[in-house]
Amino acid sequence: MAYFDNANSSQVDERVIEAMLPYFRESYGTAGLELGHSKDVAALTGLENARKVIAESLNADPRTIVFTSGVTESNNLAIRGTVIANKDRGRHIITTPIETQSVLKSCERLKNAGYEVSFLDVDEYGLIDLDQLESLIRDDTILISIQHANGEIGTIQPVEKIAEIAQEHGIIFHMDASQSYMRVKIDVEELPVNLISFDAHRIHGPKGIGALYIRRKTKIKRILEGGDEERRLRPGIENIPGAVGFAKAVEICQPDEPEYLLSLRKYLEKKISERLDNYQITGHPEKRLPHLFSMVVKHIEGESILVHLDMMGYAISTGSACSSKTLKGSHVLHAIGLPPEISHGSVRVSFSRFNTTEEIDGFVEELVSTVERLREFSPLTRGVYFADDGVDHHHDDLQEDEW
Amino acid sequence: MSNTVYLDYHTAKPVDPRVLDEMMPWFTERFANPSSLHRDGDLATEALEASREKVAQFVNADNDEIIFTSGATESINLAIIGYMMKNRKRGNHLIISEVEHISIHNIAKYLERLGFNVSKVPVDQYGRVKLSKLERRVTDKTILISIQYANNEIGTVQNIQEIGEFANERGIAFHTDAVAAEGLVPINVERDNINLMSISSNDIYGPRGVGALVMRKRYRVNPVMIGGGQERGLRSGSEDIPGIVGMAKAAEIMQSEMDDEVRRFKAWRDRLIREVLSIIPDAHLNGHPTDRLASNAHFRFEGVEGEALLLSFKDKGISVSTGSACSSKTLEPSHTLISTGLLHEEAHDSLQLTIGRFTKNEDIDTVLKALPEIVGKLREMSPIYKGR
């Protein structure tokens, strides 16, 4: 039994709950003025301490952190908020086809409103081409929105170079770090990024709370109207228990955690390479998130693998979490050039601090026997392996060129 | 501070311990996203839909008329901006009241910048909207009327059923901000002719960061938050399952306990009003004497600054409010009080006491004991008060 779907959502750490409880039960005021009553003061202190902790995790000033309801809102605010605030400077946006839906849909909405959106190509690993980025930049380009790392295939983009290019041209650079936050180091003193979206629930914090880092002097307008909360950028009574839980999740993240997660992934990769055939790792072999393993298993549907493993107590995912109930092929796997019949066999395993190598041992056993069983029944398999000669070609290296 | 008295329930509420208990397993045991195909994902989906049903029952709506959001502010944005944008081919005119929450006034300003027209209907001395005044503002371009169910400051309850009927008879959609009223007035969107309604979780002792828009069939809005297409495409973003489960539990508890609670509150409220007005000279009640929330007692003491009152109470370990939670940050006088006809300096002299689920009889005693002394002291220092 194990939960390997941490890139989708993760278990809230008990210490996070402990930190949140007083803010649910006792310090439940609003973050009003310091001259407010005691509950308001306690709430304000909790909120501002949380902001400080989160700012420190990026080596940023607390005033650059705006709390939101999650990454979807952070992405909406970052993209629509900056484009609308800078519309007098231009109407061109550059992004990639492998962004998360909230980025893609925000760009699509702007496109419908008359803005122009250019999509960078990505290679077989999902990496963008910096030369192409340079060539797409125009005088009226106002925003580049590129994810730090991909949530399906784990590939990490060359964000240092992207930020440099954006800075040279005076273009705002937004980075969706929902998958990489606290897994890959981000230091805003070194990385000249303008906006970073991230949230709590993938790092053992609560759902319903996220943040947007906004570098000072970045022009941005709010997308929700209301009161003056969050320096007028995000109205609504602050979710203080959420913010406090978020900060606690950051605080308890040990510096060597990514290393541990990487060791789990390496262990899984090795086990799988010894036991499984006819599969391919998706995403970049090295430039990838430490905790995220992804592959396509040939001749089988990822959904079938998922359902069988689920019955054995292993929670994994196929395709993107957001689109996996639609059964549409993954837009990421499509963009890296995988045909639908192959991308349907996608499997993603994502680790957390609560996972162990013992869990991986059990998982690999179940995975291998599941794949074997499914291949026996698969019509796709029959056509290939049990050809007319009646010989079992199970271990033939077929159609290598397809990869 | 120990033995603290909290009479600021309109501003913020603690989460009911029973709600917290219900939320706990969704943090640490069943934490998957509903979109996931594995069993943990299915459990989350079941919890999401069961929660939707509970919230729907709470307001007498159908399950598929509930859209979960990150809170009342987002619900209101989705309702008003979303409806105006979606239906802008049919008209460009919105009517709100002068005593709406600040976020609705700011939405109105935003819509005006986008080219929409907004009319504000005035209120009487108690903060009530009159149909005749509303009638005068309706044009053939009016597509939405947004009037609060009850006022978050002075507690006046509007005749929502009548306003809803007025709007619907004219083919105009009706939105109500029910944040102040929920849990204190039995809300029934069917009976009240409500087409769109914004509610929050914290106002019924659920967690922060969750709310809902009740969107009746045939009333459509454009989404504000876009992305993964959750909540039938109307509110994208991973669902905050612990929060949503908490809101549903809060609604369930409220539904079964509201009658008793309101009866209890009313007795305390009436005692507060009766004793304050009789003990303290030059004290006035803001809002309607009877058509007001059971939890709300809102006073004005001539010659006493609200801020000074608040600080004096704070020294005694009593939490109160000077008016609206949102406007107390700006130190501007409350727009609600100004709308009921008070002068700026009069509006500053206000004190809001709001009762809640964990209020005890002794809390009322403590406040009634402290108040005459505090008011007396502040009036002694006041250069303007020339009391009798």
Structure confidence by residue, pLDDT tens digits, A282-296: 999 999 999 999 999
Question: A183 and A110 share a domain?
Answer: yes
Rg (CA), chain B: 21
ipTM of the complex: 0.91
Structure confidence by residue, pLDDT tens digits, B331-380: 678 899 999 999 888 888 899 999 999 999 999 999 999 999 999 999 99
Tell whether B109 is covered by a domain: yes
Tell whether A5 is covered by a domain: no
State what percent of residues in chain A have pLDDT above 70: 90
pLDDT at position A326 is 54
Tell whether B386 is covered by a domain: no
Q: B102-113 vs B72-86: helix axis angle to the nearest 10?
A: 30
Q: What is the mean pLDDT of residues A307-323?
A: 80
Tell whether B388 is covered by a domain: no
State what percent of residues in chain A have pLDDT above 90: 79
Burial of B373 (0-12, 13-18, 19+ CB in 10 A): exposed
Tell whether B91 is covered by a domain: yes
Structure confidence by residue, pLDDT tens digits, A76-116: 999 999 999 999 999 999 999 999 999 999 999 999 999 99
When scoring A224, A303, A306, A330 by the number of chain B Cβ atoms within 10 A, the one with the most, hence best to mutate, is A224
Distance between A82 CA and the closest CA of chain B, angstroms: 15
Mean pLDDT, chain A, integer: 90
Q: Which of B191, B221, B253 is the last residue of a domain?
A: B253
Q: Which of B226, B253, B280 is the last residue of a domain?
A: B253
- Here the CATH number for the domain that contains residue A336 is 3.90.1150.10
- Here the CATH number for the domain that contains residue B312 is 3.90.1150.10
Tell whether A3 is covered by a domain: no
Question: A179 and A56 share a domain?
Answer: yes
When scoring B238, B239, B322 by the number of chain A Cβ atoms within 10 A, the one with the most, hence best to mutate, is B238
pLDDT at position B243 is 98
Q: Is the pLDDT of residue A382 over 50?
A: no
Question: A230 and A269 share a domain?
Answer: no
Nearby residues of A92 by Cβ (< 8 Å), 6 or more positions away: A115, A116, A117, A118, A138, A140, A141, A142
pLDDT at position B183 is 97
pLDDT at position A397 is 36
Q: Which of B221, B253, B285 is the last residue of a domain?
A: B253
Question: B186 and B299 share a domain?
Answer: no
Cβ neighbours of B225 in A, within 8 Å: 69, 72-73, 76, 102
Label residue B314 by pLDDT band (50, 70, 90).
confident
Closest B-chain CA to A235:
B73
Residues of B numbered 240-279 whose beta carbons fall under 8 angstroms of chain A's beta carbons: which are they?
240-243
> Taking a C-beta distance cutoff of 8 angstroms, is the pair A385, A392 a contact?
yes
Tell whether A83 is covered by a domain: yes
**Active site residue: A21, A237, A322, A391, which one?**
A322
Label residue B310 by pLDDT band (50, 70, 90).
confident
pLDDT at position B36 is 87
Q: Which domain holds residue A381?
A: 257-402
Burial of A226 (0-12, 13-18, 19+ CB in 10 A): buried
Question: B236 and B297 share a domain?
Answer: no
Tell whether A7 is covered by a domain: no
Q: What is the mean pLDDT of residues A364-369?
A: 96
Cβ neighbours of B208 in A, within 8 Å: 237-242
Report DSSP letters for A253-320, one per residue.
Answer: --TTHHHHHHHHHHHHHHHHHHH--SEEE-S-SSSB-TTEEEEEETTS-HHHHHHHHHHTTEE-B-S-
Question: A196 and A70 share a domain?
Answer: yes
Question: A224 and A107 share a domain?
Answer: yes
pLDDT at position B1 is 43
Question: B56 and B43 share a domain?
Answer: yes
Mean pLDDT, chain B, integer: 94
Active site residue B150: no
Question: B350 and B264 share a domain?
Answer: yes
Question: B149 and B85 share a domain?
Answer: yes
Question: B211 and B266 share a domain?
Answer: no
Tell whether B387 is covered by a domain: no
Q: Is the pLDDT of residue A272 over 90?
A: yes
Question: A359 and A232 share a domain?
Answer: no
Tell whether B369 is covered by a domain: yes
Question: B306 and B232 share a domain?
Answer: no
- Here the CATH number for the domain that contains residue B164 is 3.40.640.10
Cβ neighbours of A10 in B, within 8 Å: 31
Question: B114 and B148 share a domain?
Answer: yes
A305 vs A38, more confident: A305
When scoring B7, B43, B70, B351 by the number of chain A Cβ atoms within 10 A, the one with the most, hence best to mutate, is B70
Tell whether B371 is covered by a domain: yes
State whether the Cα torsion A35-B319-B75-B78 is positive or negative: negative
pLDDT at position A34 is 55
In the structure encoding, which two tokens stand for residue A112, read together? Answer: 């419908």
Question: B116 and B210 share a domain?
Answer: yes
Question: A229 and A130 share a domain?
Answer: yes
Question: A194 and A237 share a domain?
Answer: yes
Question: B377 and B310 share a domain?
Answer: yes
Q: Which of A236, A251, A266 is the last residue of a domain?
A: A251
Tell whether A1 is covered by a domain: no
- Here the CATH number for the domain that contains residue A204 is 3.40.640.10
Which of A76-85, A144-153, B35-44, B59-68 is least confident?
B35-44
Q: How many domains does chain B have?
A: 2
Tell whether A134 is covered by a domain: yes
pLDDT at position A41 is 83
Q: Which of A181, A216, A251 is the last residue of a domain?
A: A251
Question: A130 and A160 share a domain?
Answer: yes
Considering only CB atoms, B103 lies closest to which of A206, A208, A225, namely A225
In the structure encoding, which two tokens stand for residue B26, read together? Answer: 């969704």
Question: B212 and B344 share a domain?
Answer: no
Kindly report the pTM of this predicted structure.
Answer: 0.92
Question: A163 and A240 share a domain?
Answer: yes
Which of A21-35, A73-87, A164-178, B243-257 is least confident?
A21-35
Structure confidence by residue, pLDDT tens digits, B231-248: 999 999 999 999 999 999
Asked if B310's CB is within 8 angstroms of A236's CB, the reply is no
Q: Is the pLDDT of residue A33 over 60?
A: no
Q: Which domain holds residue B67?
A: 17-253
Q: What is the mean pLDDT of residues B206-221?
A: 97
Question: A124 and A240 share a domain?
Answer: yes
CB contact, 8 Å: B143 with chain A? no
> Taking a C-beta distance cutoff of 8 angstroms, is the pair A288, A156 a contact?
yes
Q: Where are the alpha helices (DSSP H) in A94-192?
A: 101-112, 130-136, 159-168
Tell whether B235 is covered by a domain: yes
Q: Is the pLDDT of residue A327 over 60?
A: no
Considering only CB atoms, A39 lies closest to which of B33, B70, B319, namely B319
**Active site residue: B326, B338, B368, B370, which one?**
B326
> Taking a C-beta distance cutoff of 8 angstroms, is the pair A55, A64 a contact?
yes
Question: A221 and A335 share a domain?
Answer: no
How is residue A235 annotated by DSSP?
Answer: -
Q: Which of A251, A280, A311 is the last residue of a domain?
A: A251
Asked if B71's CB is within 8 angstroms of A236's CB, the reply is yes
Q: How many domains does chain A have?
A: 2
pLDDT at position A224 is 94
Interatomic CA distance for residues A318 and A314, integer angstroms: 13
